[in-house]
Amino acid sequence: MIDLSRRVIVITGAGGGIGEGIARSFATAGATLVLSTRSNPVGEMAGKRTLVQVDLNEARAPALIVEAALGSFGRIDGLVNNAGIQPLASTLEVSDEDFRQMLETNVTAVHRLTQAVAHQMIEQGAGGSIIHIASIEGIQPAPLHGHYATAKAALRMHARAAAQEFGRHQIRVNTVSPGLIDRPGLERDWPEGVQRWLSSVPLGRLGTAEDVGDACVFLCSDLARFITGADLVVDGGVLTRPTW
C-alpha cells in the first residue's frame, strides 16, 4: 500500500462524487487533507483534514485555500484540481457567457490555484505534485460537450507547460483523464450513453470515483517520482476503440 502519511494534499471539488472518491483514496493512503468545496458537504472519512468552503471563481479563493492549509498543517505537498462544471450545449448555439463560464471555472480557476500552490511549494523547497483532473473528452469529444472538451484539452496542455517550468523546483505536474465514471442515477439519466459505453469498454464496466482517486494517489507518491507532464488515462481502455 502507498503511504502518504507525511503528505498534505489539497483537493478541490471534494464534495462531489469524483472529488469525494479522490479524498477517500488519499485518506486510505494516510494523507492529511485540505478539502475545498463550494457548497456540497463532504462525507465522513478517516484521518486528519480541514474543510475550506469557497467559490474557486473568486479571486481570493487560492489565498484562502493556501492559508487554510498552512494554518492547519504548515505546508502543502500535493494539489488535485478536481472542481469543474459539465453543462451540455451545442457548439452552434452555446452563448458567449456559457463558453466564458466554462473556461473560467474549468481552466482559469485551476491556473490561479496551481500558481498559488506552486509558489508555496517553491518557498518550502521540497518539491511536490500537482494533478489536473482532465477527461478523455480532451482527446475524444462527445456530442454537446464542445466547450467542455475544449476546456479539458486546455488543462492537458496547461499541465505540460507547468511541468516544463516547475521541474527545476522538483514540482511534478500531470493530468488524470477519466472516462465515464458511475454515479447515483447515471443509468436512469443517460441510459443510451451507459449502454454504448458498456458495449465498447474492454474492461466491461463503468469507472468509479475510487479508480480516479487511486490514480491520483499514485501520481502523488514516490512511485511516480520521474513522471511529469504526463496524462494518465483512466477509462477501462475505451479509447482503444475507434469510437464509443
Average pLDDT, the chain: 95
The pTM score is: 0.95
* 198-237 CB burial, b ≥16 within 10 A, e <16: bebbeeeebbbbbbbbbbbbbbbbeebeeebbbbbbbbbe
Could you say which of 26, 73, 148, 244 is catalytic?
148
Q: How far apart are CA 201 and CA 193, in angstroms?
A: 12
Q: Which residues sit opposite 128 in a β-bridge?
A: 171
Structural domain contains residue 201: yes
Spatial CA neighbour of 206 closest among 185, 230, 220: 185
Q: Is residue 1 part of a domain?
A: no
Whether the predicted pLDDT of 180 surpasses 90: yes
39 is in which domain, residue-wise?
8-235
Q: What is the total count of domains within the chain?
A: 1
Q: Is residue 109 part of a domain?
A: yes
Q: Is residue 3 part of a domain?
A: no
Helix or strand or coil: residue 122? helix
Does the structure show a pLDDT above 80 at 164? yes
pLDDT in tens, 115-124: 999 999 999 9
CATH number, residue 141: 3.40.50.720
240 located within any domain: no
Q: Is 190 helix (H, G, I), strand (E, B) or coil?
A: coil
Determine, yes or no, domain membership for 2: no
Tens digits of residue pLDDT in 73-128: 999 999 999 999 999 999 999 999 999 999 999 999 999 999 999 999 999 999 99
Q: Three-state SS for 59?
A: coil
**Grid cell digits, residue 164:** 516544463
Structural domain contains residue 243: no
| Separation CA 227–CA 119 (nearest Å) | 20
List C-alpha distances in Å: 166 to 80, 143, 160, 178, 224: 16, 35, 10, 24, 16
- For residues 176 and 134, the answer to whether their CB atoms sit within 8 Å is yes
Residues in the chain, total: 244
pLDDT of residue 39: 80
pLDDT higher than 80, residue 209? yes
| Residue 115: DSSP 8-state | H
pLDDT in tens, 42-62: 777 767 999 999 999 999 999
Predicted pLDDT at 226: 98
Active site residue 182: no
